[in-house]
């Protein structure tokens, strides 16, 4: 490599880092000076979280229109939406097609590869990157900078052979959040960035499960947890509303959530897609108040009046359980939830029982640990970044992916924004190198 060659270090081989590598390697031939792209990752192989996320079917993106799609990014929409204009859902599908991976839209508008698998896409992607000259370095755990100089160079890595120093002309940090640390996203990057004065929001669990508190007891009864843990509750609707007194300064009305779907009972609480969709509201409510009470509609297809009529219908010699099973189809886990959360007095009062079936109160007292969460909120604040995602405190260092301060529900929104931010950071690197 000539003395004039430019070296770009990309730290983190998840979707954001790999997308940054693709943009930079594809433009290397047209660059005014030679460009070499190196990707470093702490794990023995790349894309481990990507592969695990696709184990049950790789949800690449979502096919809903642009407006509701952008709304999924909540408070950080203004920062994420411009990235999606350059690389949104259709761009991602076209990109996958370019790798030979066809996609389809499922019944929930989620987009998947036709074979539902992550591994073929990752193999094709890595092959293209290696063909373009990208060099991969496994088992390289970034520990920060080797000097106090505020430059992108002097990067330091812990490897099986000891500490290694790397000089780079620009750097993209794509180190993920703090969820699933066994796959490499452990949040260890917080310390070196904090030491450089980078503005960081605390890392918090997102798309996470919750522990419950029932009748002043933390967790379910032994009967419910031992018999029903791991089972889904469906169909069910979840309702939650932030009291008006707790509305944020930027909100004109209290935050509300109302959606039908399904969730899973765990040994200590609840998790699953319906819970994940409400997790940011619930997490923030617990942080403010110590708990959050949701209401479950166990009969979403029936009105309260219809449920009241069925509950009050004469049952003769049948037990109440048999009556509810016959008239409303309530049995198993849904009946167990009613017994868990309602008092005996409520069971003996048809009006109160009907109300409980349509709006069963359940108190959540804590999020599950961040290591168990699907994704992470918090991270590098956008106020400390340029429009091209460069750290203002460390010129030449760019950030992308989940380590940025944003969050989104599952459904392809996470992956789309990660890849879009990786592209944006790469374009920022190109601009930086041209001006350096």
pLDDT in tens, 295-331: 999 999 999 999 999 999 999 899 999 999 999 999 9
Residue 302 CA to residue 324 CA, distance in Å, equals 14
Cβ atoms within 10 Å, residue 361:
12
Structure-token pair, residue 213: 């508190």
Kindly give the interhelix angle for 413-435 and 15-27, rounded to the nearest 10 degrees: 40
pLDDT of 147 reads 73
Q: Which band of pLDDT confidence, cut at 50, 70 and 90, is reported for residue 30?
A: low
pLDDT of 54 reads 80
Task: Kindly report, residue by residue over 280-305, the tens digit of the pLDDT.
Answer: 999 999 999 999 999 999 999 999 99
pLDDT of 44 reads 96
CATH fold for domain 6-205+376-435 = FAD/NAD(P)-binding domain (3.50.50)
Candidates 374, 205, 382; CA nearest to 280 is 205
Strands 360-367 and 61-62 come out as: unpaired
Could you tell me the sign of the dihedral formed by the alpha carbons of 46, 28, 386, 83, in that order?
negative
pLDDT of 216 reads 84
Three-state DSSP class for residue 257: strand
Task: Compute the average pLDDT of residues 247-260.
Answer: 67
Whether residue 2 is predicted with pLDDT greater than 90 in this model: the reply is: no
pLDDT of 146 reads 85
What residue spans define the domains of the chain? 6-205+376-435, 210-367
More confident residue, 253 or 6: 6
CA 436 to chain centre: 35
Task: Kindly report, residue by residue over 389-411, the tens digit of the pLDDT.
Answer: 999 999 999 999 999 999 999 99
Q: SS in 3 state form for 197-240?
A: CCCEEEEEEECCCEEEEECCEEECCHHHHHHHCCCEEEEEEEEE
Whether 62 and 51 have beta carbons less than 8 Å apart is answered as: no
Could you tell me the sign of the dihedral formed by the alpha carbons of 111, 117, 120, 126, in that order?
positive
Mean residue pLDDT of the chain comes to: 93
User: DSSP code of 369?
Assistant: P
Q: Which of 30-44, 209-223, 265-279 has the lowest mean pLDDT?
A: 30-44
pLDDT of 267 reads 96
Whether residue 153 is predicted with pLDDT greater than 90 in this model: the reply is: no
pLDDT of 46 reads 94
Q: Which band of pLDDT confidence, cut at 50, 70 and 90, is reported for residue 149?
A: low
Q: Which of 3-12, 224-233, 332-341, 361-370 has the lowest mean pLDDT?
A: 3-12
**Region label for 116, one of left (φ > 0), alpha (ψ between -120 and 50) or beta (otherwise):** left
Whether residue 276 is predicted with pLDDT greater than 80 in this model: the reply is: yes
Name residues whose C-beta falls within 8 Å of residue 147's C-beta, 6 or more positions apart in sequence: 154
Whether 100 and 93 have beta carbons less than 8 Å apart is answered as: no
Task: Kindly report, residue by residue over 171-186, the tens digit of the pLDDT.
Answer: 999 999 999 899 989 9
Candidates 260, 264, 258, 269; CA nearest to 233 is 264
Q: Which band of pLDDT confidence, cut at 50, 70 and 90, is reported for residue 91?
A: very high
Q: Read out DSSP for 13-67?
A: -SHHHHHHHHHHHHHGGGSSS-EEEEEE-SSSSS-HHHHHHTTT----EE-S-HH
> Which strand ranges, in their side-by-side order, compose the sheet holding 35-40?
135-137, 35-40, 6-11, 170-173, 397-399
Strands 256-265 and 269-271 come out as: antiparallel
Most confidently predicted of 33-42, 94-103, 152-161, 246-255: 94-103
Whether 16 and 87 have beta carbons less than 8 Å apart is answered as: no
């Amino acid at each position: 490599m000539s003395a004039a060659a430019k070296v770009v270090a990309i730290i983190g081989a998840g979707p954001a880092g790999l997308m940054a590598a693709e943009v930079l390697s594809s433009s290397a031939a047209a660059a005014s000076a030679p460009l070499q792209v190196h990707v470093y990752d702490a794990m023995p192989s790349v894309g481990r979280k990507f592969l695990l996320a696709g184990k049950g079917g790789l949800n690449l993106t979502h096919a809903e229109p642009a407006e509701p799609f952008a709304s999924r990014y909540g408070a950080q929409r203004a920062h994420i939406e411009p990235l999606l204009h350059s690389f949104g859902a259709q761009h991602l599908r076209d990109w996958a097609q370019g790798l030979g991976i066809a996609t389809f839209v499922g019944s929930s508008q989620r987009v998947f590869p036709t074979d539902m698998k992550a591994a073929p896409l990752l193999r094709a992607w890595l092959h293209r990157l290696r063909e373009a000259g990208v060099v991969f370095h496994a088992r390289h755990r970034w520990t920060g900078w080797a000097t106090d100089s505020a430059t992108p160079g002097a990067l330091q890595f812990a490897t099986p052979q000891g500490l290694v120093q790397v000089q780079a002309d620009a750097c993209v940090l794509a180190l993920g959040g703090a969820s699933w640390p066994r796959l490499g996203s452990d949040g260890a990057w917080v310390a070196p960035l904090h030491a450089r004065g980078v503005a960081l929001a605390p890392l918090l669990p997102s798309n996470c499960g919750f522990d419950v508190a029932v009748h002043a007891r933390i967790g379910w009864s032994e009967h419910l947890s031992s018999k029903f843990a791991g089972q889904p509750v469906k169909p069910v609707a979840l309702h939650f509303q932030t009291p008006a007194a707790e509305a944020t300064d930027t909100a004109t009305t209290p935050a509300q959530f109302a959606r039908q779907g399904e969730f899973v009972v765990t040994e200590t609480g609840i998790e699953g897609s319906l819970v994940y969709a409400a997790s940011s509201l619930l997490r923030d409510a617990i942080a403010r108040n110590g708990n959050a009470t949701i209401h479950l509609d166990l009969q979403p297809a029936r009105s309260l009046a219809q449920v009241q009529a069925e509950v009050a219908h004469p049952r003769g010699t049948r037990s109440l359980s048999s009556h509810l099973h016959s008239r409303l189809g309530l049995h198993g886990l849904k009946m167990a939830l009613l017994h868990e959360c309602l008092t005996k007095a409520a069971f003996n009062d048809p009006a109160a029982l009907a109300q409980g079936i349509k709006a069963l109160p359940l108190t959540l007292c804590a999020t599950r640990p961040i290591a168990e969460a699907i994704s992470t909120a918090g991270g590098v604040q956008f106020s400390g970044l340029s429009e091209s995602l460069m750290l203002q405190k460390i010129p030449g260092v760019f950030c992308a992916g989940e380590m940025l301060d944003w969050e989104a529900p599952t459904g392809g929104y996470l992956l789309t924004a990660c890849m879009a931010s990786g592209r944006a950071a790469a374009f920022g690197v190109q601009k930086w190198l041209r001006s350096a």
